[in-house]
């Protein structure tokens, strides 16, 4: 009897083993109990766009997974090879959150998408006990009620505005402060109390820097406020490469100066009225490796453009849009379109 039982156990185990080997196709194959869904997307028919009845609001109808626009229109010159990437965000390697200033304007630059920044700002306001009276996630705007701050003669309110940053995947946070005096039905063009604005910006920047690891994402804000950035590399019909930058001319001029210095150019002269910078390319430091500058040689040779002079021209094309071009000054031996694109790409990656 024992030997028969042992024989049956062996047969059963062998059957289970065989079933385990072929179990995937039996359970999950195309004809199994749980057919694969991997090809459902490819085989699904394309349906017409849903139509909203006349007179009804179609604002909430949008793609759940929109296809992003192509940011660049430039096809890199020369024989194709996989290039080293440019910096994804401006000032790569610097602080994740930092306060930027230009004249009397200040804002917080955060190296994360607007959809990530939005819930962090809401969390800060909730933790600080600041009442929110208006929320518009699609426009990236939050407005507070009136607050009586300690030591201030009158109440204040604040408007928080989140915009996409210059570089893709970055955001800008702007704060506008208003005193409870005069016309309280409309917001001023600039803060009534710059000190209060500055204190609020600093508090927000510190809170965001401390909470980036656990930040949720707002899908509404992420879809409404594009995270693609406001800077692209474009090409004219004549084949001239240029940078298209979505900033006001004053801010673009200041940002371009910093970007040139970070991209290893020395500014030798400038003409603001004509939108011109005259620069000399000094090349990366010896300890710096990688990046677009490897295009100029085999890596072990000196950069052939070091010491070359260039003219960088900024031209206003529309409201808050400028174009930036780079042209050699004098004769530069063996200067090619490929090198021009590499230099412009380096400058592009350092504008914020």
| Domains in the chain: boundaries | 103-224, 231-348
Which residue carries 């003409």 as its tokens?
A: 271
- For residues 234-250, give the mean pLDDT: 93
Q: What is the DSSP string of 119-179?
A: HHHHHHHHHTTPPEEEEETTTTEEEE--B--TT-SS-EEEEEEEEE-SSTT-EEEEEEEEE
Task: Encode burial over 251-282: b for 16+ CB neighbours within 10 A, e otherwise.
Answer: bbbebbbebbebbbbeeeebeeeebebbbbbb
- The residue among 241 and 38 whose pLDDT is bigger is 241
Q: What is the pLDDT of residue 35?
A: 57
- For residues 209-238, give the mean pLDDT: 75
pTM given for the model? 0.70
Query: Following CA atoms 323, 269, 297, 291 in sequence, which dihedral angle do they give, to the nearest 10 degrees?
Result: -60
Q: What is the pLDDT of residue 333?
A: 85
What fold, for 103-224? Alpha-D-Glucose-1,6-Bisphosphate; Chain A, domain 4 (3.30.530)
Q: What is the pLDDT of residue 213?
A: 65
Tell me the sheet residues that pair with 318. 321
Q: What is the pLDDT of residue 181?
A: 86
CATH superfamily of 231-348: Outer membrane protein assembly factor BamC (3.30.310.170)
- The number of CA neighbours under 13 Å toward the Cβ of 227 is 23
- For residues 242-263, give the mean pLDDT: 95
Structure confidence at residue 86 as a pLDDT band (50, 70, 90)? very low
Q: For residue 139, what are its two tokens?
A: 């426009």
C-alpha to C-alpha distance for 340 and 352, rounded to whole angstroms: 21
- The residue among 345 and 228 whose pLDDT is bigger is 345
């Amino acid at each position: 009897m024992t030997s028969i039982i042992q024989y049956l156990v062996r047969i059963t185990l062998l059957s289970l083993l065989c079933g385990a080997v072929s179990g995937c196709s039996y359970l999950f194959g195309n004809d199994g109990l749980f057919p694969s869904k991997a090809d459902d997307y490819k085989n699904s028919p394309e349906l017409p766009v849903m139509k909203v009845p006349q007179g009804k609001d179609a604002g909430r109808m949008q793609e759940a997974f929109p296809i992003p626009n192509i940011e660049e229109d430039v096809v890199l010159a020369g024989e194709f090879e996989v290039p080293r990437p440019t910096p994804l965000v401006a000032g790569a390697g610097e602080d994740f959150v930092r306060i930027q200033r230009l004249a009397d304007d200040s804002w917080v630059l955060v190296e994360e998408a607007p959809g990530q920044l939005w819930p962090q700002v809401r969390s800060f306001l909730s933790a600080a006990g600041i009442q929110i009276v208006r929320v518009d996630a699609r426009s990236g705007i939050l407005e507070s009620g009136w607050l009586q701050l300690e030591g201030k003669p009158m109440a204040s309110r604040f408007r928080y505005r989140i915009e996409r940053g210059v570089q893709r995947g970055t955001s800008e946070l702007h704060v506008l402060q208003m005193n409870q005096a005069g016309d309280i039905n409309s917001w001023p063009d600039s803060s009534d109390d710059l000190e209060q604005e500055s204190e609020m910006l600093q508090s927000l920047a510190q809170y965001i820097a401390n909470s980036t690891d656990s930040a949720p994402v707002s899908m509404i804000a992420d879809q409404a406020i594009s995270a693609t950035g406001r800077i692209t590399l474009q090409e004219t019909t004549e084949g001239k490469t240029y940078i298209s930058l979505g900033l006001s001319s004053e801010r673009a001029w200041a940002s371009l100066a910093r970007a040139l210095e970070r991209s290893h150019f020395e500014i030798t002269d400038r003409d603001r009225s004509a939108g011109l910078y005259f620069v000399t390319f000094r090349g990366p430091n010896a300890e710096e490796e990688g990046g677009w500058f490897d295009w100029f040689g085999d890596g072990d040779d000196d950069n052939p453009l070091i010491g070359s002079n260039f003219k960088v021209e900024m031209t206003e094309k529309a409201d808050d849009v400028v174009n930036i071009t780079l042209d050699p000054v004098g004769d530069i031996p063996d200067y090619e379109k490929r090198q021009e694109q590499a230099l412009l790409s380096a400058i592009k990656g350092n504008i914020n």
